[in-house]
Amino acid sequence: MKLLIADDHPIFRKGLIELIKDSFKDLTIIECSDGAEAFAKIRSETPEIALLDINMPMKNGLEIAQEIQKNDLNTKVIILTMYKEKEMLLKAMEFGAYGFVLKDFAVNELTNCIQKVLLGQKYIGPTLKESFNDYNVLEQRKQLLLDKFKDLSTTELKTLKLVSQNKTSKEIGELLFLTEKTVENYRSKICQKLNLPPRNNSLIKWLTENKELLTTLNEF
């Protein structure tokens, strides 16, 4: 296995190397002290796994994870962090990171994390799981919406997107080359398919309550 470790603290980096060497055979370790060097090595050496500190000079762990995803590279990312930075951790997950370990618990968790990630499984350290509760709930709600949206026709989806942009039925009609009455019919059908009450403001209210999930519409 080829594994890259990127951290700007040499003592911590050396400690990780000793820990990992004791747990894995046939191991090649690539050691980096900043993010720019790390990403260059990931591109040239294609390690199976990259252990990345979130806070590094030149490029941070999030930027590297995003570049790996953007360039469709095969290296799997494990994020190392000192803090339970909720937004940063959720962003790392969006960028395809496989593992998340607090530095304070690396000695106890890292070997297990690497083993799971090598098998293609996600790993979140027990002390970090609370940070992902909101993300998991959001993903479940998003999946429910995706299932509901699949029942909508192309024109109904276009109508829904425009309603979410605060367009009136008249404005939507002009954009979709439909009569205002036809748009009202589409809005009514959308309400039926989303199991919303047949009130004029029910769709607007539903969109307001689910505004954090409206990016789901872009998947259609």
What CATH number should be reported for the domain holding residue 214? 1.10.10.10
- Domain membership of residue 75 (yes or no) is yes
Instruction: Over range 62-91, report the average pLDDT.
Output: 84
| Model confidence at 172: pLDDT above 90 | yes
**Rounded Cα gap, residues 213 and 205, in angstroms:** 14
Neighbours of 20 (CB within 10 A): 20
- Domain with 123, as residue range(s), is 2-130
Angle between helices 86-94 and 61-70 (to 10 degrees): 20
Q: What is the pLDDT of residue 169?
A: 93
What confidence score (pLDDT) does residue 75 get? Answer: 94
Both 11 and 109 in one domain: the answer is yes
If one counts the domains in the chain, the total is 2
Quick check: is 34 in a domain?
yes
Digit-coded pLDDT (tens) for 186-217: 999 999 988 888 776 888 888 887 776 666 66
> Quick one: 13 and 51 in the same domain?
yes
Is 144 among the domain residues? no
Query: Is 112 found in the same domain as 42?
Result: yes
Return d(Cα 211, Cα 115) in angstroms, integer: 38
Which CATH number fits the domain that encloses residue 16?
A: 3.40.50.2300
Q: Within 13 Å of residue 99, how many CA atoms lie on the same side as its CB?
A: 28
Q: Are residues 16 and 60 in the same domain?
A: yes
Q: Residue 166: inside a domain, yes or no?
A: yes
Query: Mind listing the pLDDT tens digit for each residue in 110-156?
Result: 898 999 999 988 888 877 776 666 555 556 666 777 777 888 899 99
Residue 79 resides in a domain: yes
Residue 218 has pLDDT above 80, yes or no: no
Q: In what order do the strands lie in the sheet with 49-53?
A: 28-32, 2-6, 49-53, 76-81, 99-102, 123-124
Task: Give the number of other CB atoms < 10 A from CB of residue 39.
Answer: 25
The two three-digit tokens of residue 217, written as one number: 């519409």
What is the DSSP code string of 106-159? HHHHHHHHHHHHHTT--EE-GGGGGGGHHHHHHHHHHHHHHHHHTTS-HHHHHH
Can you give the pLDDT at residue 133? 61
Please indicate whether residue 18 or residue 93 has the higher confidence score (pLDDT). Answer: 18
Q: Let me know if residue 136 belongs to a domain.
A: no
Residues 118 and 187 in one domain: no
Q: In 100-123, which positions are buried (b, 16+ CB within 10 angstroms) versus exposed (e)?
A: bbbbeebeebbeebbebbeeeeeb
Q: Are 124 and 162 part of one and the same domain?
A: no
Kindly report the average pLDDT of the chain as a whole number. 85
- 160 and 102 within one domain: no
pLDDT > 70: percent of the chain:
86
